[in-house]
Amino acid sequence: MNSKREAYYSSCLGTKQKCDQNNAIWNLDTDFSDDYDAFVAKILEIEDLKQVAEHIITGYAVEKKNYENTLIRDILFVSGRIKVWATRPAVNNPGVYNAADVKEYELVRMKDTELLTKGKDILKLINDNAGIEPTYVTVLRKGSYVTNIGNYESVVTIPQTKIEDRAAANTLMNAKLDELIVFRKTTFASTAMNYMETHPLFYEAFKNSIKVDNNPTTKLALKGQAKDKVTGEGIAKMTVMIPSLNKQTKTGAKGNYLFKSLPAGQYTLVFSMYGYLTQQKVVYINAGVRVDVDVVMVPKSSLPTRLTIRTFNAVDQTLLGGVSLSQVNGVGVGVTNAQGVYVAFDAGPETLVLKATKAGFAPTENEFEVEEHEENVWDIYLLPEA
């Protein structure tokens, strides 16, 4: 909705509020009750369509932020491995080292296209310098990195299908709002006139609620504070988004944020910052009311590194229990349970090469990259022996 339509919709919500506050006057009046029920049903239709339109954009924004965080983490890991290669005495390549020398705070502050370009530049360093792959950046790790670049590139701009889906929902929502406004102005208002003499205060309140404030947004605001769950301190420079309104802001030095000039309605707030779990909160902005929404963010560093390893029969794709897992250097890891699952916390090295063995199946070796403070889910497939 544009600001004018939001003003009309806000006034319709005000009409419903006045009716709710005075239901003792009309709740036995069949005509008014029927009109009220029809009026509310139309509002609910609009709310459903608002949610559809908002979820399209909110879902995209969250997906984009997740891909962004994954790419940042991957750039830091891969560039670090490239720098190790570049500083080897046999290589001694300061040019490559400097090209791969990126800082986390630099990546976080980059615009979408800048981050994507940086990711591709790091990939080019691998491709252009023999010796980095596979010793310093494994084939599997490079493949994962390429995938993460592709994932982020696919969401740098909102896909056309999402734009079209949201436009369709908005078109239908506007049509429903037009129906709501006409219904209130004609049928509902006509029924309310029956109270002009018997309940003049109610009728006056009903009539006034129909008046549209063409500049309602100056009365509305949303504010809050973001705190770290572990330290309890405010988080500065965290992004707070209202995707459906295409608005975002950053928290101040003490974690405070503020949105001004918001239209009435229900919205999803998205709180995100590299190093923290992204959170969403649903908030309802009502005309003339300032809303406070605080959030407690969970730092990923406070989370355990969880490994979930699943073993499968490669032929029929069923989970395979009783598979022994060990590192190639002989260090034991564990055995999958009857359901073919093994879970471990706080895993060791960044790269694990696991050997999986079970009687009647060919042993297999699998290389995995451990993402710290994340849930790592790995699948291993074993072929039955002939």
Q: Name the residue ranges covered by the structural domains of the chain.
A: 1-212, 219-301, 303-382
What is the 3-state composition of the chain as percent helix, strand, coil, each rounded to the nearest 5?
45, 25, 30
**b/e map of 304-333 (b: 16 or more CB within 10 Å)?**
ebbbebbbbbbeeeebbeebbbbeeeeeeb
Res 119 pLDDT > 60:
yes
CB atoms closer than 10 angstroms to residue 244: 21
Residue 173 to residue 50: CA distance in whole angstroms: 7
- Could you tell me the fold of the domain covering 303-382? Immunoglobulin-like (2.60.40)
Matching CATH topology for 219-301 and 303-382?
yes
List the alpha helices (DSSP H) in 87-199. Answer: 94-100, 104-109, 112-128, 139-153, 160-183, 189-192
Query: Strand, helix or coil at 265?
Result: strand
> In this predicted model, what pLDDT tens digit does every residue of 278-298 receive, in sequence order?
899 988 776 556 789 999 999
Q: Is the peptide bond before 134 cis (omega within 30 degrees of 0)?
A: yes
Quick one: what percent of the chain has pLDDT higher than 70?
94
Cα of 121 vs its chain's centroid, Å: 27
Chain-centre distance for alpha carbon 79: 26
pLDDT, tens digit, for every residue of 230-286? 999 999 999 999 887 878 899 999 999 998 877 777 788 999 988 888 899 988 776
Give the DSSP letter of residue 113. H
Mean pLDDT of the region 17-25: 90
Please state whether beta strands 361-369 and 351-358 pair in parallel, antiparallel, or not at all (unpaired): antiparallel
Residue 258: C-alpha distances to residues 137, 247, 248, 290 (Å): 44, 11, 10, 10
Q: For residue 267, what are the CA distances in angstroms to 51, 52, 63, 162, 219?
A: 8, 11, 17, 18, 17
User: Would you state the pLDDT for residue 88?
Assistant: 87
DSSP assignments along 43-58, one per residue: HHHHHHHHHHHHHHHH
Judged against a pLDDT cut of 80, whether residue 304 lies above it is answered with no
Q: Give tens-digit pLDDT for 24-47.
A: 999 889 999 999 999 999 999 998
8 Å CB contact between 96 and 124: no
CA dist., res. 219 & res. 289, Å (int)? 7
Q: Phi/psi of residue 239, each to 5°?
A: -85, 130
Buried-exposed string 195-209: b where 16+ CB fall within 10 A, e elsewhere: beeebeebbebbeeb
CATH number of 219-301: 3.40.50.720, 1.10.3720.10, 2.60.40.1120, 3.30.70.330?
Answer: 2.60.40.1120
State percent of the chain over pLDDT 90: 42
Q: Measuring CA to CA, how many Å separate 283 from each of 137, 242, 264?
A: 45, 10, 10
Q: Rounded CA gap, 247 and 249, in Å? A: 7
Residue 288, judged by CB atoms within 10 A of its CB (0-12, 13-18, 19+), counts as: exposed
Cβ count within 10 A of residue 70: 17
Give the mean pLDDT of the chain: 86
Longest dimension (CA), the chain: 97
- HSE-up of 305 (CA within 13 Å, CB side)? 9
Provide the CA 313 distance to its chain's centre, in angstroms: 35
